[in-house]
A and B are shown apart, each in its own frame.
Chain A
Amino acid sequence: MPVKIGVPRALLYYNYFPLWNGFFRELGCDVVISGKTSKAILDKGVKMSVDEACLPVKLFFGHVVDLREKADYIFMPRMVSVERKSYICPKFLGLPDMVRYNIPDLPNIIDVTVNMSRNEKNLIKSFTEVGRLFTGNYLGIRKAFQKGLQEQERFERLNQLGFLPHESIEQMEKGLISQNYSPSHPGKLTIAVVGHGYNIYDAYISMNLINKLRDMSARVVTPDMLTNDIIQDRSDELPKKLFWSMGKQMIGSAFHYMRSQSIDGIIHVASFGCGPDSFTQELIERYLRRSRNMPFLNLTIDEHTGEAGVITRLEAFIDMIQWRRAAQ
């Protein structure tokens, strides 16, 4: 019977799942994803974690609890850095430790360290370390790693076409290899939703934000649809390089969309207690106010958010944009 690897549907799932999936499948393992976020999952997470942790971390705890019975191993790499001289976030650095000492009766945890801050070749080393757990075949591990990279590349191409990451993952499961046209989402307005993937694509904690916008006949673009070059280029406008990869993505995409003529408004989604967001949001807001008249809405989400409040604010935001347009 193949080994079952559990992957929590939270945090970096929305960024790197195809890479992990491709790798483990090629090694002959089964990949089990935790269920979609629900009240039960969130409640379990909130109960297990400290109060001060941010919402995504609490949610991650909930997803790990959900996997407890379902998998032989839980995969939660210690993601220190995914590019040179840049970190993800201190909480990601300590995540496996936080999980291990707060959730009882866990299956084996695969907490290999991924640190590409000094040397980008460290990625294959980390994957080799994981592969060694299941096979001694070094060539096989290499092949699986290549397979994972291929899947990841295809995933990113789909994202850049205009699929949202969770849609891309779905499409890839269905067997879509590639296409050369964007998925169509008719709409009168285009709204840029700037926020971390694990906040904006999770339908439960984002209060179904993206679908609500689509229902209001708005097209949605997100940071994941931009290439790394654009992000790098735009974020370099800051006097000092940001040392959080995801913060850089937020800044880069906001600066890009801020100047784009086809964007009608920007919604920034932050989770309560997110450290990097508190700074990037401040910078985005200040630059935005100085440079141009772009409508900007800042949504902070936490485990208590009532849906009605979010709907009201979204409607007000969309209405405002439409009036503004009519007045021009």
Chain B
Amino acid sequence: MKVTFPHMGYMYICLKALFNYLDIEVVVPPMPSKRTLSLGTQHSPEFACLPLKINMGNFMEAYEKGADTIVMAGGVGPCRFGYYAQVQREILKDIGINMKMVVLEPPQKHISELLIKVRELTGSKSWFDVVRAIRFAFNKACAVDEVDRIVHKIRPREIETGAVDLVLAEAIKWIDEAQNKKQLDEVLKQAKNELASIEVDYSRRPIRIGIVGEIYVILEPFVNLNVEKHLGRMGVEVERSIYLSEWINDHLFMGLLKMKGNKSARELAPPYVNHFVGGHGQETIGSTVKYGKEKYDGVIQLMPFGCMPEIVAESILPTVSREIGIPTFSLILDEHSGDAGVITRLEAFVDLLARKKEINDETKDAEGAFICADI
């Protein structure tokens, strides 16, 4: 059995660690590329959302590399993600790719439903080993997120452009290659040291932007056209509303661990969104409110074209922006997004924020200062 899975940012590091730990042979699909996208779009429904198409491409490329089993998550709606696996299975069947699909669904009646599925994969390994493997995979997710957080801080302040990204690529490789917890701790320490030795200018006061929106497009740099990197190089300090480890804790561990989760964001969403709308719609609004209160300079919403929960959020976002006084910008991503157009728009947005910050700084103490410049 050669197992493969869809890509979502750095999630492959965790899943690879998980399967390797359990002695399951794993085929990591090639990193998403133009080819992945065109393979995926060729066979997917036209109006399906972007993640489904990239996933399809991942599966097809993994099949070429010899994978025969797909591990995929399920769901109970109302977001379309819960039905991805079903549609993908039908498509794969029709184009003659015979792969076994193991769909991990949230149990409807009893936890045993999920456990039986896990057993299909793990074979004769003991549950103790499974739990240990999951813990190790989760540790890797936390390590990646820790590095990411530091990088977000350093990138706008680095003196030599691109220095951080070189270290980041190295660090990710180290984390990926770590075989056990001890090694992982070591490489994390080493990565932190390397990051700390990068030359930075701490006298800069970068613009701070919060990134909110749909999880897949936030986490997958190929889909969001490396928006974090581009913003960082424009001198923007980026903060994300969601990190991989938090998402795993919220959705796979049912919030078992005490760490910052999506609950706090959801609580801030009323009165704008008074009800769960599926996906991350409510979190998008809640996080925007949060960033507004924390006096961030702006918020960027990332969403795939046609994403239902994010459309709800998008249509309410202007009101939030007006009432909380934080500029927002919705960036809609689809398979046609060209790099240059997006960068131009980001630059324009950042320029506006920089101008506003300047004015605010100048007039901070003057009488009749306005708090929010209307953009």
Contact = CB atoms under 8 A, between A and B. Distances in A.
Is this pair of chains taken from one and the same complex? yes
Interface stretch (A39-47, A96-104, A314-322): A96-104
A275 B80 contact: yes
B74 interface: yes
Contacts of B281: 90, 94
A134 interface: no
Contact of B48 (A52, A97, A239, A278): A278
A290 B85 CA distance: 19
Contact of A272 (B47, B77, B103, B316): B47
A238 interface: yes
A121 to B, nearest CB: 19
A50 B277 contact: no
A276 interface: yes
A282 B87 contact: yes
B275 A274 contact: no
B49 interface: yes
6 contacts: A240-B83, A240-B85, A275-B49, A282-B45, A282-B90, A286-B91
Given A101-B272, A240-B83, A279 B316 contact: no
Nearest to A290: B94
Interface string A222-257: 000000000000000011101110000000000000
Interface in A176-194: none
Contacts of A295: none
A243 B315 contact: no
A97 B274 contact: yes
A80 interface: yes
B308 interface: yes
B315 A101 contact: yes
B45 A279 contact: yes
A283 interface: yes
A97 B282 CA distance: 11
A52 B305 contact: yes
A128 interface: no
B42 interface: no
A72 to B, nearest CB: 22
B47 A278 contact: yes
A157 interface: no
A21 interface: no
Nearest to B79: A90
A90 B305 contact: no
Given A80-B275, A243-B83, A273-B47, 20 more contacts: A50-B314, A52-B305, A85-B108, A88-B78, A90-B308, A91-B312, A93-B276, A94-B273, A94-B275, A101-B316, A113-B275, A239-B86, A240-B74, A243-B82, A275-B80, A275-B307, A275-B308, A276-B80, A278-B306, A283-B87
Top 4 nearest A-B pairs by Cβ distance?
A: A94-B312, A243-B77, A278-B47, A87-B78
Contacts of B77: 86-87, 243-244
Contacts of A19: none
Contacts of A102: 315-316, 319
A278 B306 CA distance: 10
A91 B311 contact: yes
Q: Which of B91, B306, B307, B319 has most chain A Cβ within 10 Å? A: B306
A3 interface: no
Contacts of B47: 270, 272-275, 277-278
A91 B274 CA distance: 13
Contact of A90 (B46, B91, B309, B332): B309
Interface residues of B, number: 46
A281 interface: yes
B278 interface: yes
Interface in A67-91: 78, 80, 85-91
A282 B86 CA distance: 11
B348 interface: no
A53 interface: yes
Contacts of A80: 275
Interface of A: 49-50, 52-53, 78, 80, 85-91, 93-94, 96-98, 101-102, 113, 238-240, 242-244, 270, 272-279, 281-283, 286-287, 290
A52 B316 contact: no
Interface of B: 45-49, 74, 76-80, 82-83, 85-87, 89-91, 94, 103, 105, 108, 272-279, 281, 305-309, 311-316, 318-319, 332
A93 B61 CA distance: 37
Q: Which of B85, B278, B311 has most chain A Cβ within 10 Å? A: B311
Nearest to B313: A94
Given A98-B316, A278-B306, A93 B79 contact: no
Contact of A50 (B76, B94, B315): B315
Contacts of A90: 78-79, 277-279, 281, 308-309, 312
B277 A282 contact: no
Contacts of A238: 86
B306 A52 contact: yes
Contacts of A50: 311, 314-315
Contact of A52 (B79, B105, B274, B314): B314
Contact of A281 (B45, B90, B312): B45
Contacts of B306: 52, 273, 275, 278
Nearest to A54: B311
B345 to A, nearest CB: 15
Contacts of B307: 275
B275 A243 contact: no
Given A90-B281, A90-B308, A286-B94, A279 B314 contact: no
